[in-house]
Amino acid sequence: MGSLNIENVKKAFGPVEVLKGINLEVTDGEFVVFVGPSGCGKSTLLRVIAGLEDSTSGRVVIDGADVSATPPAKRGIAMVFQTYALYPHLTVKNNMGLGLKQAGTPAAEIDRRIGIASSMLSLEPYLQRRPAELSGGQRQRVAIGRAVVREPKLFLFDEPLSNLDAALRVNTRLEIAQLHRRLKATMIYVTHDQVEAMTLADKIVVLNAGQIEQIGGPMELYNSPANEFVAGFIGSPK
């Protein structure tokens, strides 16, 4: 399970409306990519979905239930950030398990899930290391592993590859695609990189200044961009 409905979500910071009425349906198991220029509201929309930010109006519905008043930890969502957000003093293993431990998950179950996630992400050799002893790509895999062990209905990725160099970006992108195939989980992925969007997405949502310009499959947007903006962003050259 992991369907998502965003219904007329608006978000203002003071007088500035950053999300101007977003409507979106995401079906269970779909890989949806949000693209758009810096400042258009991509991160804000993810944070509203995750519950890290309250919307000004509108509803967020997960598996048919309105979660607008549900705290982040109870939404069945795990988020992966550009900056990894790992605890420097904890080992890889403890970084991955901390959330489960705090939620009262038995130690044996935590170990079982870390075993599976670390195998999927090739992290077994690093479980006893600390983040400072890892490369950027390895750190981001730990952050992804920490999301995986929570067995969320919905993964949210906010520009997870932006801090990685080109070769690692391709590598990590392929790992995320593989993870999606194996887990069959719903994933929402924010990027400003057209290649990432085109290669990962079942469905691309093009955002501009707090509004959706177009929603469609990669080839649909490429071949039939709705307007100049979408064409400039991912459309085929005219």
Question: Tokens representing 82?
Answer: 């550009």
CA–CA distance, 56 with 7 (Å, rounded to integer): 12
Q: Residue 18, interface with ligand ADP (CB under 6 A)?
A: yes
Q: Which range binds ligand ADP by CB under 6 A, 38-46, 72-80, 100-108, 122-130? A: 38-46
Nearer to Mg ion by Cβ, of 30 and 159: the residue is 159
Contact partner at residue 41 from Mg ion, ligand ADP, none, CB < 5 to 8 Å by partner kind = ligand ADP
* Residue 45 or 110 having the CB closest to Mg ion: 45
Least distance CB 218 / ligand ADP (angstroms):
20
Copy the structure tokens of residue 203: 């469905």
For Mg ion, give the closer residue by CB, 22 or 149: 22
Rounded to the nearest 5 degrees, what angle is found at the Cα of 159, between the Cα atoms of 155 and 160?
70
Q: Which does 100 bind (CB under 5 to 8 A by kind): ligand ADP, Mg ion, none?
A: none
Q: How far is CA 1 from the centre of its chain?
A: 16
Query: What whole-number distance in Å separates Cα of residue 171 and Cα of residue 93?
Result: 22
Q: C-beta of 192: minimal distance to ligand ADP in Å?
A: 8
Helix axes 92-102, 107-120, angle to 10 degrees: 130
Q: Contact between 79 and ligand ADP (CB under 6 A)?
A: no
Q: Angle CA(144)–CA(150)–CA(152) in degrees, nearest 5?
A: 90
43 binds Mg ion (CB under 5 A): yes
Position among 43, 172, 186, 191 found at the interface with ligand ADP (CB under 6 A): 43
Name the region of 157 (left: φ>0; alpha: ψ -120 to 50; beta: rest): beta
What are the residues binding Mg ion (CB under 5 A)? 42-43
What are the residues binding ligand ADP (CB under 6 A)? 13, 18, 36, 38-44
